[in-house]
Structure formats: C-alpha cells, structure tokens
Structure 1
Amino acid sequence: MLLGIDYGTTRTVVAAVDRGNYPVVSFHNESGDTMQWYPSLVAAHSGGGERRFGFDAAARQNEPVWTVLRSFKRELSQHTPESRLTLAQDSVPVIDLLTEFLIQLRRDLFERSNLRLKRSEPLEAMISVPANSNSNQRFITLEAFRRAGFHVKGTINEPSAAGIEYAHHYLNTAGSSRGREHVVVYDLGGGTFDASVISIAERRHEVVSSDGIAHLGGDDFDQLLFELALEQAGVRELTERERFRLLEECREKKEGLHPNTRRLAIDLGQVLEGAGEVIISTAEFYERSRPLVEQTIEAMESAMKKLPAGAELDWRSVAAIYMVGGASDLPIVGRTLRERFSRQVKKSPYPHAATAIGLAIAADTEAGYTLRERFTRHFGVWRESDEGRTVQLDVLFEKDTLLPDSEGGRLTRSRRYQPAHNLGHFRYVECSRIDEDNQPTGDITPWADIYFPFDPRLQNDPQLERFAVTRMPPGDYFVEELYSCDQTGIIEVEMINHANGWRRTFQLHGGGERKRAQATKVSG
C-alpha cells in the first residue's frame, strides 16, 4: 500500500494511492466516530513506564493519572537525535517517543482505518517535513518512520507537496496544455508557517525559493484565545492540566469559526468548577490575531524577494497564492490575504489534507510528477583565519541551492589545502540567514563534530577528541574535503590525506554541540 503521511503538529493526515485516486484515510476514534485525521498526541501515566498515543492518548485527556503532551512536533527543531524528554516520571529519547507514536499510527492503519489491509502488507510512505525545518528535525522524522516499520520512499517539504496537490486539482485537466506558471504556497499549519514559490511546467515542479517561521501556527492563535478567556474571567493561574484542557477548548472553538461568526463562548466550567462561560467577540480575537497573520505575509513576501538571479517573476505573474494547512481555515487569514492580493488567493478544497494528498500523488510513479527541492538553510563549517585569531563560516551549500533530481545525482563541493595542524576539528553549522559580515544569524543549529587526523601518527586512534589541536610545520601534501548531497538533503563528507591515501567518510546530521559524527567508511 502506497501512502502519503503528513505528520502534523496537532493532527496527522494520511492519504492513500488507489488506482489514480488519492483518498484521505479515515479512522474510528474511541467513541466510534469517523475522523479524517489522527491526533498527534502522547499520554504518559504518572506511575511511569506506560504511554499511549493517538486516539488512545486523546481518550485519557481528562484522567488525572495521565499527562498529555500536545504539539510535540513543534519542539522537534529544538532537539538533537540524542536529546531526551522528561514525560511524567520517565526520561525518554525524543527519537524513541516519535517512533512509538508512529508504531501506534501504523497499528491503527491496520486496525482502526477504512483501509482494507492484509496483516502482512508492507506500508510504503512518502513523508513530509516543514520547509524550514533544520536537519535535526529532518533526521529524527525520517529515522523514526523507518524504525516504526514504514518503507519510506522519500521526504518532501510540506509546501512542495501541497504544490503537487494544487497542480493535480487545478491543472490536471484532460487535454489541457499549459506553459510554465508559478504558484506561491501559503502553508499555515498547527506549529509552523512555510511559504514556497514553485515553478510548474506540465508535471515538472521546481522550488524557486522559500521562507518561513519555525514557531508560528495554529497553536499561537489558540494561545491568543486562551489569554483572552483568562482576561475576561479574571483568572491568573492554572495548573498544567487545567491549562491543557483550556487550550483544547480554545482550539475546538477556534476551529468552529466561520466568516459570519460574531462571538465565541469559551466554557471555563470544563476547567474550573463553577466558572461558567466567557464570551469573546470575534472582532477582538481577530484584532489580536492580525499581527501574527502579518508576520506570515512578510515571510511569504520575503520568499518572493529572494528569487534567484534571472527569475523574471513578480506578483502580477503569479498564478495563485494557494492557502493550505489547518490554521489557514481561520477567517482572518483568508480575509487579510484577499485584502492584499485579491483574486490571486485560492484556498485548497482540503486545507488540512492538501499536503498528505500531494505526498500520495508524489509517491505514485504512474502520476508522473517530478519535483526538485532547494536547500532551505545555509550549511557550512567554521574555519580559522589570521593564524587562528578569527573564526569565519565557510558556507558549503547556500540556502536556495537547487538539490539533485530523482535520477540519483549528487550535489558536490570540495576544499583542498595544506594542513597547518596535527588534527582537524570540523564544527559544522546550519542557519537560516547570513549577515553582511558572513556570519550565521537567525535560526542556528550546530551539527555533529568531526575529527580527522592530519598527523599520520594519530590515524588509528579511536578517540581523537582527547588530543589537543596544535600547530605543526607545513608539509608538502594536501588534505581534501569532498562533500556530496542527495535529493533529500542528506550530506556526506569524505576526508582524504593525499600524503598516504588515508581517508574517512562521514554521514553528517545535526547532532548538537560536542557530538562526534561516526565514520561510515575508513580506508587507507
């Protein structure tokens, strides 16, 4: 079975490939109701050791002995593959927690969904990550899906998948033949905002540029409504359990809004005994929300401003601004976009499921869609200059560099030099922006460290990090760094000492400060 799986901040949505159709998979919850989504929830028992996920976790939201974790995905960008999270009494590796959630999702696809699956049937999946997610989040997500038993066909950025759904819905007309056109995907999810400019020619898609906000989504609108409710009621403090329940109440009422709604009734009585309801006008809520919406528009406009040299494109030549993501349903979002961009704004008929549907289409080779992504962040290595007096970032892969296509090619970079030290300590970093002094800024994520011996006497030592880096007389040989990147953004580096042919190959990922990458191949 081929699937597109959009692991979301609040909800996970699955679409299937079914003979040229891409239906959204439905699940039965604890009450027997049918839902076209799966709750991205984790619950832990206060006694420790016992955890529940998805609908099982949702059913325990009001039980005092259970702690429920919402919006877990939103925090992935803050973690490394080695990070641990304290939940109830347990310290759990982050990657294990996500793996356990996905194991339950896989089990419920067999037991709770409308898919007619054989018990032994393998599940192949195209999965997604936010366009501006760092490499830690990408690695954790991909690895957790694999550990959970899914056969991962590939990883696509969320707005890129939504662009495929747009083309399938609006451009896939029998007998139609169009030239190249551009669509700007406005993707406001539960925890993140992404905007991507996508070039479409027939069924060939290419990401032109992208931008986004790592921590802005539906959760933030829930928080605004939460704060308004507390202000109206004159309540200042809540327990963590009360806070969770009130945020859920605010989310449900927010999701029930439509353009003609004039007021919201928030039931504080669900949280505080005898508190009753508070009434909030939508006008006040929208006024509080407008600055958040304006931030998303600024990020979308930034994506348009960063177009590569030679890209002749302005707002008048954009075919559509395509609204996707569950939080784009909020009326103030569409209203503000239409005030600014008028008829160019189009809303997906399936805003909460557009990414999953696009993933399923991309997974279906018979659909014939191809996609080329770009780096969404700068990647480089710190290097000393001025005889060690200053440190500068050597950018190896710039943001918006076009990634290889699906034919298996690799993007390469190299550096060659005469070493001046006994040992190379390579500290990699990725960032969302580079300032005028060529220094990383914005969202900065350190990657795993690498140690490579320039002194032949250190070549067979398994603990190079215990040696001090010292200067040595320059030799008459060269060291070469060969970097390569595949279509998913996975980077490898081969280090070569040309004096004796000693070499090591490393697969790089975001591992946090002082974490050492492991060699995947050693020779020489």
Structure 2
Amino acid sequence: MIIGIDLGTTYSAVAALDANGEPTVLPNRVGELITPSVVYFESASSALVGTAARESGTVDPDNAVSLVKRRMGTEFELFFHGVAHTPESISALILRSMVEDAQAQFGRDGEPVRAVITVPAYFGVREREATYQAARLAGIDVLELLSEPVAAALHYGVTARRGDVVLVYDLGGGTFDTTVLRITRDGAEVVATDGDSRLGGADWDERIADLLVESFVSAVPGADPFDDEEFLHETRLLAETAKKDLSGRVSRPVTVRLGADRVAVPFDRAILERIGADLVERTLSVVTRLLADASGKGVQRVHEVILVGGSTRMPAIAAAVGERLRRSPRLLDPDHAVVRGAAIRAGQLADAARERSSTRSVVPRSFGVLIEDSHDPDGTRQMVVHTVHRNDPLPASRTTAFRTVMDGQDAVRIQIYEQAGELPSEEVADNRRVLDGELTGLPPLPAGSLIEVTLRVTEDGLLGVTAREPGTGTTLALEAYMDGVVDAETTRRLAGSLGAITVRR
C-alpha cells in the first residue's frame, strides 16, 4: 500500500490515489474523513484514538493526550497507567490507527505500508527525526517527509504554472507556517519559509473557552468551575464547535452547563475577530518577515496566495490576508489540501519515471559549528558559525575549514548546532546542539592546523556531518544523535510497550 498521511496537531488524515490517479481522502472506521489527533489510554494495554478518545478525555482528562505534535523533537515524557510514553510513541499510535483503517478499507490487513508523511516546512532536524521514529514505531516505511506547503501546492495544482510565485498560508489546529514557492520547469521550488510552532486554531479555541468560562462565572454567583477538569474540557469542545459554526454563520450563541446551572453566552463573528485579532496579526508579522527573506532571493511579486489548514475557514483570516497582500487568497478544501498533496507525492515517488526534484525545498533552520572565538581577549567566548543557512536550497552541502587553537592536539571535538530561535544567531544560547562527536587518532598537531567540516542536509531535512584532517586524511562521520529524540534503547522499550497496546476507535 502506498498512501499519503497528514499527521496534524489537532487532526490527521490519510489519502491515496484512486484508479484514475486522483487523490481520495480515506475515511476512518467510523466514517470520518479526519481523525482527531487525540489518544486516550483506557489501560496499560488498551488505547482509544480519535473522536472516542477526545470524548473519553472529557470524563477522564488525566489519561488523554492531544496537541502532541507541538512536542515533537523535545524531551517530554508522559505516564499513563504506569507506562512511559513520548511524543514519538503517542504519534505512532495515531499513525497506526490511521494505517490500520486504510488497510481495512482496502481489505489488505497486515500488508506493508509505504507513505509520504507531511511535516511543517520549518520543522528542524530533531522534529523530522522524531517524526521518522514515530513512523518506524508504527511499522510504516517512509517514502519521504514532505513539507506541508509543497503538498498544498500539489493539491491546488499551481505547480503547472511555470514562472508564478505562490505564497502558502497554512494555519492548522496547532501550528502556523507560511512559504513562498517559485514554480519552475521541474515543479514547486521553496524560496523561503517561516512559521510559528506554537500558534494555531487551538489558540482561538482557548480564547473562546476563556470567554465562555468567564461569562458563566459572571452569570452564576459563587460558581467556581476552575478545578472541574470535566467542565473545562467540555467547554473547550464547545469553543471549537462554535468557532467552526461561525465560518458559515454570523452569530451562534453557546450554552454552557455545570450541574443544574445553565448560561447562554452570546457569540458572533465580531466577538471572534476581536478576541483573535492579535493572533491574526502574529501570523501576518511572520508573513512580512517571510516576504523580506524572499525579496532577498529575487522575489518581488507574489502571483497567488493559497490558504491551507482548517483554521483558514475563519472569514477573518481570508480578509486579513487579502488586505495585507492586496490579493484575494484561494480557499479550496483547506482541511484536506495537505493530505491530498501527500497522496499525489506518494504516487509520484511510486512512479520511477518521476524525478524527486519536482518538489525541491529549502533548509528550515541554519546549522553551524561551535568554535572558540579567537578575537575574544579573555579567550573564553564560544560562538556558532553557521555554514548551512536557513532557506538554502535542498539538498545542501557546505565544507568549511576551521583551525585548531592549541599546540599538540591529537583530538578535536566537533559540535554541530541548529538555530533554535526565529532568526539565526551566533550566540550559543540561541542555538541547540544536534550532533556531538570527536575526531581522534590524530598526530599531535600544531596550533592553526586545518580541520575541514562538511555539513549535509538531505531533501528530507536530515543532517549528516563529516570532519576531516587533510594532512593524514583521518575522518569522522558523526552519528545522528539528536537531543530530545529517543535513543535506540528507548526506541526498543517503546516498541515493546506499543506492541502490547490494542488500539480502538
């Protein structure tokens, strides 16, 4: 089986090409085209995934987990019924549920699955490696990790319009990213990308839920619902439903209940726009920064703007984007744009005649080498010299020569850092270490000896590093040890735990 998977922050989906080569979104076993990215642990050996998990979480929130995509690539551990889980293992359960549903629909239970899985364009090496690990834990052979904006471009069909420049505005449930694509003879080429991994429709939901709770407390003297997890969870679900309803309606009162108390809270588009105005502006500030980056790469005009992600159904989004960019954006099945594009890409990769270059992307974050600052009079300052830069075309490779600082060195420590903030910085605190190794077996070298360091980033955004002492030819190829990504021993433990869990819908 060859499929495309959109592993989303709030919702996930699966698609495949039909007999006519058209992408078709596959329903899960309960008939839904999108599956809530929620897992509820009934016990150490049984888990619910999707709508049933979200509903169970209303009653027992301590055993439910959502928005886990925001934690991908971080050291974050959760315990359910005495069993440890990570973002990778939680995501693996979501992936496994969707894959099993797809297999059942085609009557191919247990058949190996190959998939293109989408990730935000700004995902760095740790987040991408974590996604790979989640897929491996779910038993999926990953054909490619595809940037979500490129997938969206495939869905919208803009890759055939040679010479156009397209801006993709992707506001999902938990993440926001925006990308400038240049359409070339070979397909969609990412010029620049930017985003915010902590901004999405869930933030609007939280604002609405806060409004509902405050209105309830004001209307019911003495009410103190803030410690009632079931009430708060139910209110968040009401908030999400109300937000979605206002995409097609101007007003929609919301009834909030706690015990015998019931309060009807007025709610309309004007209120939604007011409480979310600063969130919209946050997305537009990222777009402005993106366009500045793209301008430095020769892009002076955007020909088309496409909206992706369910949260772009809010009318205020299209209005704000259109006003800021002075161009009416296109909105075409935003909930499924990414997964349909993933299915198209999976079909391309299954066809040996198609070249991978048709979806060229860029480096999501800058990578560099930790060095001693030779200009520091105190001799104590360290800095990161970025050699592969954000928005460099993929695949990227750069060899840079550095020099040793002490006489008699027979080993050199090689530490590679990745940009951690929104913008590159040489300050160590603004970066995070992703690779660490030692080039050993060298003869005692005089100070100032050359060490060549080559950084390579593949089309999938994964990092490889080689260090070489040219005099002797001694070489070190660093293993990809990612801080915040589970190691081999933990992977084996998680695989054992997941193998013992029955997934239900």
Matching of residue 93 in structure 1 with residue 89 in structure 2: no
Tell me the SS of whatever aligns to 1:344: coil
Q: Is contact 1:422-1:455 (8 Å) kept?
A: yes
The 2-side partners of 1:213 and 1:254 are apart by 21
2:498 — aligned with what?
Answer: none
1:415 — aligned with what?
Answer: 401
The aligned amino acid for 1:244 is: H
The structure carrying a bigger helix percent of its residues is 2
- TM score, norm. by length of structure 2: 0.84
Structure 2 CA distance for partners of 1:128 and 1:309, relative to 1, 3 Å: same
Q: Is contact 1:232-1:278 (8 Å) kept?
A: yes
Structure 2 CA distance for partners of 1:65 and 1:230, relative to 1, 3 Å: closer
Which residue of the other structure, out of 87, 90, 101, is the alignment partner of 1:108? 101
1:329 — aligned with what?
Answer: 313
Matching of residue 451 in structure 1 with residue 451 in structure 2: no
Q: Is contact 2:179-2:190 (8 Å) kept?
A: yes
The 2-side partners of 1:345 and 1:223 are apart by 26
Structure 2 CA distance for partners of 1:372 and 1:440, relative to 1, 3 Å: farther
Which string of whole-angstrom CA distances, capped at 9 and with x for unpartnered residues, describes residues 175-228 of structure 1?
xxx541011000000111111000113551100111111110011000010111
- TM score, norm. by length of structure 1: 0.81
Q: 1:108 offset after TM fit, Å?
A: 2.1
The 1-side partners of 2:297 and 2:54 are apart by 50
1:389 — aligned with what?
Answer: 380
Bigger shift: 51-60 or 294-303?
A: 51-60
Q: Is contact 2:149-2:178 (8 Å) kept?
A: yes
Bigger shift: 135-144 or 338-347?
A: 338-347
Bigger shift: 132-141 or 387-396?
A: 387-396
- Aligned ranges 1:110-129 → 2 under 5 Å: 110-111=103-104, 115-129=105-119
Q: 1:289 offset after TM fit, Å?
A: 0.6
2:242 — aligned with what?
Answer: 253
The aligned amino acid for 1:148 is: A
Structure 2 CA distance for partners of 1:437 and 1:61, relative to 1, 3 Å: closer
2:414 — aligned with what?
Answer: 426
- Aligned ranges 1:136-155 → 2 under 5 Å: 136-155=126-145
Which residue of the other structure, out of 173, 177, 184, is the alignment partner of 1:194? 177
What root-mean-square deviation, in Å, do the aligned CA atoms of Structure 1 and Structure 2 show? Answer: 3.0
Structure 2 CA distance for partners of 1:434 and 1:419, relative to 1, 3 Å: farther
Q: 1:268 offset after TM fit, Å?
A: 2.3
1:520 — aligned with what?
Answer: none
1:364 — aligned with what?
Answer: 347
2:9 — aligned with what?
Answer: 9
Which residue of the other structure, out of 316, 324, 328, is the alignment partner of 1:340? 324
2:493 — aligned with what?
Answer: none
Q: Is contact 2:39-2:94 (8 Å) kept?
A: yes
Matching of residue 487 in structure 1 with residue 459 in structure 2: yes
The 1-side partners of 2:434 and 2:354 are apart by 36
Q: 1:232 offset after TM fit, Å?
A: 0.8
- Aligned ranges 1:152-301 → 2 under 5 Å: 152-166=142-156, 168=157, 178-201=161-184, 204-234=187-217, 237-265=226-254, 267-269=255-257, 272-301=259-288
Which string of whole-angstrom CA distances, capped at 9 and with x for unpartnered residues, describes residues 357-396 of structure 1?
1111122225958111001211112211237421111102
The aligned amino acid for 2:72 is: L
1:398 — aligned with what?
Answer: 389
Bigger shift: 101-110 or 193-202?
A: 101-110
State, as a whole percentage, how many aligned pairs show the same letter: 24
Which residue of the other structure, out of 38, 57, 64, is the alignment partner of 1:61? 57
The 1-side partners of 2:339 and 2:171 are apart by 14
Which residue of the other structure, out of 481, 486, 510, is the alignment partner of 2:482? 510
Q: Is contact 2:159-2:187 (8 Å) kept?
A: no
Structure 2 CA distance for partners of 1:312 and 1:300, relative to 1, 3 Å: closer
Structure 2 CA distance for partners of 1:260 and 1:94, relative to 1, 3 Å: closer
Bigger shift: 500-509 or 222-231?
A: 500-509
Q: 1:450 offset after TM fit, Å?
A: 2.0
Q: 1:308 offset after TM fit, Å?
A: 5.8
The 1-side partners of 2:297 and 2:55 are apart by 54
Q: 1:499 offset after TM fit, Å?
A: 5.4
1:305 — aligned with what?
Answer: 292
Q: 1:96 offset after TM fit, Å?
A: 2.4
Between Structure 1 and Structure 2, how many residues are aligned?
Answer: 470
1:467 — aligned with what?
Answer: none
Q: 1:124 offset after TM fit, Å?
A: 1.7
The aligned amino acid for 1:84 is: E
Matching of residue 22 in structure 1 with residue 12 in structure 2: no
Q: 1:451 offset after TM fit, Å?
A: 2.9
The 1-side partners of 2:127 and 2:242 are apart by 30
Q: Is contact 2:372-2:380 (8 Å) kept?
A: yes
The 2-side partners of 1:209 and 1:183 are apart by 11
Higher relative contact order (CA 8 A, sep 6+): 2
The 1-side partners of 2:129 and 2:242 are apart by 35
Q: Is contact 1:378-1:433 (8 Å) kept?
A: no
Structure 2 CA distance for partners of 1:122 and 1:512, relative to 1, 3 Å: closer
Bigger shift: 11-20 or 476-485?
A: 476-485
Tell me the SS of whatever aligns to 1:413: strand
Q: Is contact 2:246-2:252 (8 Å) kept?
A: no
Which residue of the other structure, out of 35, 41, 44, is the alignment partner of 2:41? 44
Q: Which runs of 5+ in 1 are unaligned?
A: 173-177, 405-409, 457-471, 517-524
Q: Is contact 1:17-1:361 (8 Å) kept?
A: yes
The 1-side partners of 2:66 and 2:14 are apart by 19
